[in-house]
Amino acid sequence: MADKTDKDDNHWRENLSPEEYHVCREGGTEPAFTGRYWDCKEDGTYACVACGLALFSSATKFDSGSGWPSFYDVIRAENIVNLVDNTHGMLRTELRCSGCDSHLGHIFEDGPQPTGKRYCINSLSLKLEQDA
C-alpha cells in the first residue's frame, strides 16, 4: 500500500479546485459526459489529482458508454482501496486512492475481458500524465 499522506483539510482546499475538492474529499460525482477525460484518447498514466499516485493506464481505458472514464484494470491493486457504499439505495463498491483517501468512483462487474471489471472514475479525481 502507498504511504498515506497526512495533509489536512486546508491543504486540500488550497490545492484542489472547488469541483475537485467536492469529488475527492466529499465523495461527490461529476455529471456524466462532462469530465475532461470521459472521451480522452491520449496515451499515458492516469494519476490521482490530489496526491499523484499512479492509478490507471490508458491501455486499459475503454468506452463504456457511461459518460465517465472507464478502465478494466488498475496499475497496482494496492493503489486502490475498495469500500462498501450503500448510499442512494444501492449496494456498490466505492474506490478510493490509497495514497490520500480521495474518492475516485466505483467498480462494477460489467466490464470487458480480461477482467470483466469496469472501474468507473470521475475525471475530476484524475490527472493524465501523457506519454512522451
CATH number for 14: 2.170.150.20
Domain containing 88 equals 9-130
pLDDT at 132 over 50: yes
pLDDT score at 88: 66
The stretch 30-49 carries a mean pLDDT of 97
The stretch 83-102 carries a mean pLDDT of 85
132 Cβ partners below 8 Å, 6+ apart? none
Choose the weakest-confidence range: 13-17, 53-57, 62-66, 87-91. Answer: 87-91
4 domain residue, yes or no: no
Counting Cβ atoms within 10 Å, is residue 17 exposed (0-12), middle (13-18) or buried (19+)?
Answer: exposed
pLDDT score at 92: 79
pLDDT at 33 over 90: yes
Which tops the pLDDT comparison, 6 or 71? 71
Q: Residue 126: in which H helix or E strand, if any? A: strand 126-130
Which amino acid type is present at position 105? G
Active site (catalytic) residues: 120
∠127-30-22 over CA atoms, to 5°? 80
Q: Are 94 and 84 in contact (CB under 8 A)?
A: yes
pLDDT at 118 over 80: yes
Q: Total structural domains in the chain? A: 1
- Give backbone dihedrals phi and psi of 53, rounded to 5 degrees, phi first: -65, 130
Q: Which residues pair with 117 in a beta bridge?
A: none
pLDDT at 83 over 90: no
70 domain residue, yes or no: yes
97 domain residue, yes or no: yes
Rounded Cα distance between 35 and 67, Å, is 8
pLDDT score at 1: 42
pTM of this structure: 0.91
